Amino acid sequence: MNIFRRFAMAALIPAAAMSFGLSSALAQTPSPAPAASASPSSTSPSSTSPAPAPSASPAPAASASPAPAATPSPAASASPAPAASPAPAASASPSPPPAAAATPAPVQTADPFGLETTLEPKKVVMVKGTANWDSAFDTLIDAFKALNTLLDKQGIKHAGNSMIVYTSTDDTGFTFLAEIPVEQDPKNLPKDMSVGKSPEGKALKFVHRGSYDNMDNTYEAITNHLDDKRLEAKDTFIEEYLTDPLKTAEDKLVINVFVPLK
């Protein structure tokens, strides 16, 4: 508002100067009129007859007097410009939206790590396999594809998440069982496939997010956790794929790792 006030004052000051100039000019113009009135001092009647001529001269002076009254109107018209100053009030209104936008995002809780749980046995169709570490994930994907092809042909739906049960490992590779939970027995199984039960009993649950290649870090953390807690694990461990490994990008995998305890 102070800015608009300054503009209003700046508009009023020149108008005042103009009014003062006009009033001074007008103050000077009436002075000749009395000089004409001095002529009636002559006593001759003939001199009185021309008197109307001097009386006519003040008429223009009287007509000029309204001009100063008209001049203030421009000054008054200049003052409404600052009156139309709602703009500052509008500029203050946008401040609330940022405050509303500053709502804190919900905090994501960490995945459980080393959570004690009990595995319940499930009916599964399984296939045995052997893999080396260099092509481990590709071998597991091939095993899941073989199981899905069998189930799709027989119209059997999954009854749970796909799993890998590691039965033995060494420096070069590992042996495993790829398992898919089902509610009915498939027919005409190949020699390397069978129907059985998934592992059961007490276990610790860990969560891995990311690619299969990065699971080394997860298993290292699991080993450290077992050492810190002085827990003994069995010679096997289970991976439950919460995301479908056949449809999910490898770096987006979410896998539960279960470590059965002795």
pLDDT per position as a tens digit, 140-175: 999 999 999 999 999 999 999 999 999 999 999 999
What are the sequence ranges of the domains in the chain? Answer: 2-27+41-93, 115-260
In Å, what is the CA distance from 12 to each residue of 4, 73, 82, 181?
12, 11, 11, 90
**CATH class of domain segment(s) 115-260:** alpha beta
Over 60: is that where the pLDDT of 208 sits? yes
The Cβ of residue 239 has, within 10 Å, a number of other Cβ atoms equal to 21
**51 or 234, greater pLDDT:** 234
Q: What is the pLDDT of residue 211?
A: 94
CA dihedral 17, 20, 25, 30 (to 10 degrees): 170
Note whether 207 and 257 are within 8 A (CB).
yes
pTM over 0.85: no
Note whether 167 and 260 are within 8 A (CB).
no
Q: pLDDT band for 220, please (50, 70, 90 cuts).
A: very high
Q: What is the pLDDT of residue 111?
A: 87
Least confident of 91-105, 154-168, 217-231, 232-246: 91-105
Over 90: is that where the pLDDT of 46 sits? no
Distance CA 128, CA 130 (A): 7
Length of the chain: 262
Q: What is the pLDDT of residue 104?
A: 54
Report the pLDDT averaged over residues 86-91.
48
Using a pLDDT cut of 90, give the percent of the chain over it. 55
Start-to-end Cα distance in the chain: 80
pLDDT per position as a tens digit, 120-134: 999 999 999 999 999
Distance CA 166, CA 176 (A): 4
Over 70: is that where the pLDDT of 27 sits? no
> Residue 174's closest CA among 125, 144, 209, 135?
135
Over 70: is that where the pLDDT of 259 sits? yes
Strands of 54-172, DSSP E: 115-119, 123-132, 163-169
Q: What is the pLDDT of residue 43?
A: 40
pLDDT per position as a tens digit, 98-126: 554 555 545 446 787 999 999 999 999 99
Distance CA 209, CA 56 (A): 108
CA dihedral 81, 86, 88, 90 (to 10 degrees): -150
